[in-house]
Every structure is written in C-alpha cells, then in structure tokens.
Amino acid sequence: MPLLGSDDPLPCCPRRILVSGTSGSGKTTLSARIAALLDIEHVEIDALFHGPDWTPREQFLADVRAFSSRPLWVTEWQYDSVRDLLADEADLLVWLDLSRFTVMRQVVARTVRRRFRREVLWNGNVEAPLRTFFFNRDHIIRWAWNTHRNSGLQVVELRRRRPDLAIVRLQTRSEVERWIAGPLRCAERP
C-alpha cells in the first residue's frame, strides 16, 4: 500500500485507527476529532498508562488488549509495550509528521498552560514544575525534542511489517485540516 497524503482517498472506511507522532504533535487532539467525526470510541492511551503519581498502571496491557479487540476505536500509537499489538489490530495509521519547530512550539505552549492552570491530567496527575526541565531527562519538552525523529523510524518499520496497512502522512496543520475535511469526511459511516 502506498503512503497516502492529505488529499488521497482512503481505501476503506476506517474502523480501528492509530494516530502516530512525537509527544506534543497533536495525537490526542486529532484522535478525538477523528472519533467525533466517525462516531467511534476514542481511547486516550495516556489515561490507561499513567496511574497516580505518574506510575505505570498494572492493568495497562490488559486494558489495551480489551479495547483493541473491539470493532471500532481510535487511539494514539505510543508505548513500546503495546505498539505492535495496536498496529496488528489497526486498519489505518495517521502519521503526524510535523516539523520539529511546530512540535516544540506546541509542546512548550501546552506544558506551560497545563502547569500554570494546574490542569489535572490522568488519574490526578499534573505537570511537574517547569524548573524540572533542567534536570529531568524525561521532561516532556526534552522528550519531544529528543524523540522527534523516532516516530518516522517507527512508521518505516511498520510499513515493512504491515505493508497492507493504510498510512496517511500529514506534515502540516493545513494538511491535517484538508484531510479531515476531505478524505476522512468522505469515509464517514452511513
């Protein structure tokens, strides 16, 4: 299957959809939009992974197995422990391949907003103080910078492993909007 762009029609109406991209690229936002448009369940994978105090939940793998066996869903493609499982069940992967500049602008703005508003995320977690950026190697902003290239490598490997999987590559926000308004809207369920 060739790599699809923002204007290419989808080969079928997607039922199980993954959204890929580095941290801060907009995976969760796009997943929610797709789910609303297609009237399917959005499973926010961060909510399944993170327990209180940012500890991984013991039930994570079981929860992912449970939802991924259902007929309709959209979620974010992350966490190495479930990446293959999700890819094996998916019929569409949407790859947010945004520039590092765009991703960094988004992740910094989101992190600062969440911290100042003390937004409660998954299972009572809130963003760490901004000063932790300087000494925490896994701080979300540093993570986004250091792993930006990884999502592309993961998609390349997935294409080798699942040549039948439809993959849409979106490289700008305008391409995302065109894809939603065009090919995705055309794939809506009757």
**Both tokens assigned to 60:** 């994570």
What is the mean pLDDT of the segment spanning 71-89? Answer: 97
Q: What pLDDT digit, counting tens, does each position of 146-159 carry? A: 999 999 999 999 99
Residue 161 has a pLDDT of: 96
Domains in the chain and their CATH numbers?
A: 16-98+150-184 (3.40.50.300)
Could you list the beta-strand ranges (E) of the chain.
16-20, 42-43, 73-76, 92-96, 166-170
Q: What pLDDT digit, counting tens, does each position of 24-58 carry? A: 999 999 999 999 999 999 999 999 999 999 999 99
- Whether residue 70 is predicted with pLDDT greater than 70 in this model: the reply is yes
Residue 128 has a pLDDT of: 87
- Whether residue 4 is predicted with pLDDT greater than 90 in this model: the reply is yes
Under the banding of pLDDT at 50, 70 and 90, the label for residue 12 is confident
Locus of tokens 């600062």: 112
Residue 42 has a pLDDT of: 98
Residue 189 has a pLDDT of: 55
Q: What pLDDT digit, counting tens, does each position of 87-137 carry? A: 999 999 999 999 999 999 999 999 999 999 999 998 999 988 888 888 888
DSSP string, 87-136: HHH-SEEEEE---HHHHHHHHHHHHHHHHHHT---GGG--PPPGGGGGT-
Nearest to 117 by CA among 130, 105, 135, 106: 130
Q: Which of 139-143, 178-182, 184-188 has the lowest mean pLDDT?
A: 184-188
Strand-pairing partners, residue 11, are none
